[in-house]
Amino acid sequence: MEDNECRDGGKKLQREFGGKRKYSLTKIGKSLVTDAEGLSYAPYVLQHHQDALMSVWPLVHEAVLDPTIEPFAKVHGEPAYSYYGKKPKMNGLMRKAMSRVFVPFMTSVLDGYDGFKGVKRLVDVGGSAGDCLRIILQKHCFICEGINFDLPEVVAKAPSIPEVTHIGGDMFKSIHVVDAIFMKWVLTTWTDDECKLIMENYYKALLAGRKLIACEPVLPDDSNESQRTRALLEGDIFVMTIYRAKGKHKIEQEFKQLGFSAGFPHLRAFISIIFTLFLSSKSNFSFWILERLGEYL
Ligand SMILES: C[S@@+](CC[C@H](N)C(=O)[O-])C[C@H]1O[C@@H](n2cnc3c(N)ncnc32)[C@H](O)[C@@H]1O
């Protein structure tokens, strides 16, 4: 809560309660309390402050000086994805943390975007435990089958979800042929060359006229001091430190070039502002709808 808000709130309460000082939670404090939908930011805060992550931050400068250094792997001897896969407690906390982010995110996506129409088989690549897919299938009953595609060790622990098949694999090698590919928060952890490789595999897996729906954070062209830009850049630094030193957030033009180089000449961008991400800040996600050459209207 801003100082002014605190002072004004304090005065108001003193008036209302006959001069007696009363205390209440600030907006940020309230976000840590479980809401009516059973969600809270508390696991998100706890997840970001786990020892395994905190011990990596002091090495962030090394990754800036030399991007071949992976701070997480240097501290723990292996990359974050495989490390998390072996730690059920950490994985569980991350899932709880992410649910506070992806439930409002997916609700906002599905309220504002109708591009799933006509899709019968959908794959969520890097879908983790399949939670996003569950929300998509609940809203869009016309989708007959959802495939949650992630690393074998991740899907091995995924809970059973009606109409969802969990498939373990490697998106760098191949993925299943479907009507549409959904992907959220995946490209941002890979280099441009790796992103291109992933997207070329998607292109091969998609039949003519089908599409890739990519939901990724998009940086503004020019950096500024706004809370939104700061939150996006903070996400970029988080990825660099915890996941991949070479992974980076991109601006719109970079996404366009990437899609084009992987064979997707048509790109539509939908911008969604997700108010609830990163506590009080507004965060800007774009959905990049990449379509196969000339075959999709
Ligand atoms: C940042 S998480 C995003 C998870 C989910 N899409 C979301 O938005 O909450 C990236 C996901 O990609 C998965 N992943 C990493 N490497 C992969 C690979 N080679 N093939 C398939 N999935 C992979 C990770 O296991 C993880 O679940």
> How confident is the model over 254-288, as pLDDT tens digits?
888 888 898 887 777 776 655 544 444 555 666 77
Pocket mutation for ligand 1, best pick of 72, 128, 181, 240 (most atoms within 8 Å of C-beta): 128
Confidence of residue 134 (pLDDT cuts 50, 70, 90): very high
Mean pLDDT score, 174-188: 88
CA 94 to ligand 1 centroid distance, Å:
12
Vertex 69, ends 217 and 65: CA angle to 5°? 85
CA 127 to ligand 1 centroid distance, Å:
6
CA 22 to ligand 1 centroid distance, Å:
46
Pocket mutation for ligand 1, best pick of 53, 81, 107 (most atoms within 8 Å of C-beta): 81
The C-alpha atoms of residue 43 and residue 32 are separated, in whole angstroms, by 8
pLDDT for residue 5 is more than 80: no
Mean pLDDT score, 191-210: 87
CA 10 to ligand 1 centroid distance, Å:
45
pLDDT for residue 1 is more than 50: no
Pocket mutation for ligand 1, best pick of 186, 238, 285 (most atoms within 8 Å of C-beta): 186
Q: What's the mean per-residue pLDDT of the chain?
A: 82
pTM, whole model, 2 decimals?
Answer: 0.82
Q: Which one has a higher pLDDT value, 34 or 8?
A: 34
CA 144 to ligand 1 centroid distance, Å:
23
ipTM: 0.99
The C-alpha atoms of residue 90 and residue 96 are separated, in whole angstroms, by 10
What pLDDT sits at residue 74? Answer: 94
For each of the domains in the chain, give its residue range(s) and CATH number, in order of start: 104-291 (3.40.50.150)
Q: DSSP states of the chain as a string?
A: --HHHHHHHHHHHHHHTTT-------HHHHHTS--TTS--SHHHHHHHT-HHHHTTGGGHHHHHH-TT--HHHHHHSS-HHHHHHT-HHHHHHHHHHHHHHHHHHHHHHHHH--TTTT-SEEEEET-TTSHHHHHHHHH-TT--EEEEEE-HHHHTTPPP-TTEEEEE--TTT----EEEEEEES-GGGS-HHHHHHHHHHHHHHEEEEEEEEEEEEEE-SS--S-HHHHHHHHHHHHIIIII-SS---EEHHHHHHHHHHTT--EEEEEEEEETTTTTTS-EEEEEEEEE-TTT--
For ligand 1, atom 19, name the residue with the nearest CA: 170
